[in-house]
Amino acid sequence: MRLYIITKRTLFSIGFCLLIGVIAGGIALTSTVQAIQTASAQREIPIYCVDTDKKQVALSFDAAWGNEQTEHLLDILDKYNVKTTFFLVGDWVEKYPESVKEISKRGHDVGNHSNTHPHMTQMSVDDMNTQIQTCNEKIKTLTGKCPTLFRAPYGDYNNDVVKTVKANNMYCVQWDVDSLDWKDPTPNQITLNITNKLKDGSIILMHNGATNTPEALPMVIEAIKAQGYEIVPISQILLKGNYTTDVQGKMLPAQNATS
């Protein structure tokens, strides 16, 4: 049997090695946390919903292709005295100028949904600017107002997209409640898709050309109001002044940002 004798020098060496290991582990952990925090701080996130204590939600429609149902949707919204937001593609604006004027005339927000509905994450910043500014010019020519709201086609964004939108003095807006009307579910299911996920400050996504949206819209409005919510345009629900967005895309006052 071999006998090991532990001297003070051995104990000191062991203790020193353990100390070095603890310090190294601490440095590695700190570096990892800092890297995660830095990556989070650098990530640009659009507005998915708004931090508010008001019982309000915003209803929005994307218009990129057809126009057969727009007038009907506007009439339903008028019937319920509800104002919403329409995000329009520049090509759509060119094809249906009278509808663009009518949307604005009836008091709805007119937002920018790009000029040709591309995947903007695959474009240069110059091309992104062209997409945004060309659509803005088309809308302004017809309505007299330059849009302040932008929604990326396909909901597809990255840091450059969000930064470019902000550089054009616009809000980059997504949604936190998807009606999934573009999948052509039943009107009842569209209503449930919305009402099951609502919260104060929610932004709801619908489409002007989805098959069952006109039939679902009265049910959606009545169900939202039954939950005690007021339906307002996105421009009305957004916070005023400096803001930030958290990791979920909730719009917060800048002073509430966490470091």
Domain ranges (residues) in the chain: 1-42, 49-256
Q: Are 164 and 126 in contact (CB under 8 A)?
A: no
pLDDT at 4: 45
The domain defined by 49-256 carries CATH number 3.40.1710.10? no
Q: Active-site residue among 117, 126, 207, 246?
A: 207
Query: What pLDDT sits at residue 255?
Result: 77
DSSP at 16: H
Choose among 46, 54, 145: nearest CA to 93: 145
**What is the pTM assigned to this prediction?**
0.83
**51, 53, 62, 113: the active-site residue:** 62
Instruction: Indicate if 184 belongs to the active site.
Output: no
Active-site annotation holds for 119: no
Report the alpha-carbon distance of residue 246 to residue 194 in Å, rounded: 22
User: Mind spelling out the 3-state secondary structure of 146-206?
Assistant: CCCEECCHHHCCCHHHHHHHHHCCCEEECCCEECCHHHCCCHHHHHHHHHCCCCCCEEEEE
Phi, psi of 139 (to 5 degrees): -70, -45
How does pLDDT run along the chain (259 residues), one tens digit per residue?
444 454 555 545 544 444 455 444 444 444 444 444 444 458 999 999 999 999 999 999 999 999 999 999 999 999 999 999 999 999 999 999 999 999 999 999 999 999 999 999 999 999 999 999 999 999 999 999 999 999 999 999 999 999 999 999 999 999 999 999 999 999 999 999 999 999 999 999 999 999 999 999 999 999 999 999 999 999 999 999 999 999 999 999 997 654 3
Q: What is d(CA 192, CA 206) in angstroms, rounded to the nearest whole number? A: 13
AA letter at 108:
H
